[in-house]
Amino acid sequence: MRQEIPGKTALDRLANENGIAIALIDETAHEVYVANNNSICRELNPNGEFETHCKAFCGTAFEEASEVGETVSFTCHAGLECRVVPIEGGERPLVAIIGRTFLKAENYRRATTRAISGDWKDHSPAEFFENVLLTGSATVLDRTAARIGGSAKKLKAVGDERKPQKLEEVAKTETVEEPAAEPVRKNPAPTVSNIVARFNRELGLGKETVRAVPRAEPQITEKQVEQKIELPALVPERKPEQVVEPAPQVLATPAPDVPVATAVPEAPKPRSNEQRAAEARAWRSFFGSLLKTDHAKAVESVLEFISLQYGLSALIWLERNDKKLVNTFAFGAMKNRKLRLGIAADDKRLIEAAQNEMPLELVERPKDGSPQGDRVMNLFPIGVGGEISAGVAIFEKIEDERVRRQIARFCQSIAPQMEILRLRGAVARGETLSTAVRRFSESLRQIDAEDVWIKLTQNAAELLKAERASLMVMNERTGALEIKALIGGLGKPGKDDVVGERVARLVFDKNKPIIVPDVAKTGLPPVAASRNYKTPSFMSCPLSISGKAIGVMSFADKASGQPFDRGSLNLFHAIASQIAVAIDRASLKEKAGEFEQLSVTDALTGLLNRRYIEARLAEEVKRSNRHGFPMSFMMIDVDHFKSYNDQFGHPAGDEALKLVGHVIRETLRGADVAARFGGEEFSILLPQTGPEEAWAIGERLRHNIAETVFPHRVVTASIGIASCSADLCSVVHIVAAADKALYEAKRRGRNRIMAFEQI
d(CA 338, CA 372): 24
Residue from 49, 178, 680, 744 carrying the catalytic annotation = 680
| CA 626 vs CA 523, 684, 728: distances in Å | 65, 22, 14
Q: Are strands 753-755 and 717-723 parallel, antiparallel or unpaired?
A: parallel
The DSSP bridge partners found for residue 753 are 719
Whole-angstrom distance, CA of residue 41 vs CA of residue 734? 78
724, burial (CB in 10 Å: exposed 0-12, middle 13-18, buried 19+): buried
Q: Which residues contact 555 (CB under 8 A, 6 or more apart)?
A: 460, 461, 464, 466, 468, 469, 538, 539, 540, 564, 568, 572
Q: Is 680 a catalytic residue?
A: yes
SS3 12: helix
Please report which helix (H) or strand (E) contains residue 332, including its range: strand 324-332
SS3 198: helix
699 φ/ψ sector (left φ>0, alpha ψ -120 to 50, else beta): alpha
Task: For the sheet with 324-332, list strands across it.
Answer: 229-230, 360-364, 375-384, 387-394, 314-321, 324-332, 340-344
Closest by Cα among 218, 220, 213, 210 to 276:
210
Q: What are phi and psi of 119, to 5 degrees?
A: -75, -5
| Dihedral angle computed from the Cα positions of residues 114, 115, 120 and 124, in that order, rounded to the nearest 10 degrees | 180
Kindly provide the b/e burial profile for residues 142-168, where b requires at least 16 CB atoms within 10 angstroms of the residue's own CB: bbbbbbbbbbbeebeeeeeeeebbbbb
| Distance separating alpha carbons of residues 640 and 654, to the nearest angstrom | 14
Give me the residues paired with residue 720 across strands.
Answer: 635, 754
Edge-to-edge strands, sheet with 72-75: 31-35, 21-25, 94-101, 81-87, 72-75
What are the C-alpha distances in Å from 589 to residues 384, 449, 480? 53, 9, 20
Nearest-CA neighbor of 100 among 157, 164, 161, 145? 145
Neighbouring CB atoms inside 10 A of 304's CB total 13
Dist CA 484 CA 457 (whole Å): 9
Going by the DSSP 8-state scheme, the letter that residue 346 receives in this structure is: T
In three-state secondary structure terms, 113 is: helix
Q: Which long-range contacts (CB under 8 A, 24 or more apart) does 59-65 make?
A: 59/29, 60/29, 61/25, 61/29, 61/95, 61/97, 62/25, 62/26, 62/27, 62/29, 62/93, 62/94, 62/95, 63/29, 65/95
Asked whether 129 and 424 are in contact (CB, 8 A), the reply is yes
AA letter at 530: S
CA distance 459 to 480: 25
Q: At how many degrees (to 10) do helices 650-667 and 641-648 cross?
A: 140
Distance CA 168, CA 172 (A): 7
CA dihedral (200, 202, 207, 212) positive or negative: positive
In angstroms, rounded to a whole number, what is the distance separating the alpha carbons of residues 578 and 51? 36
Active-site positions read 680
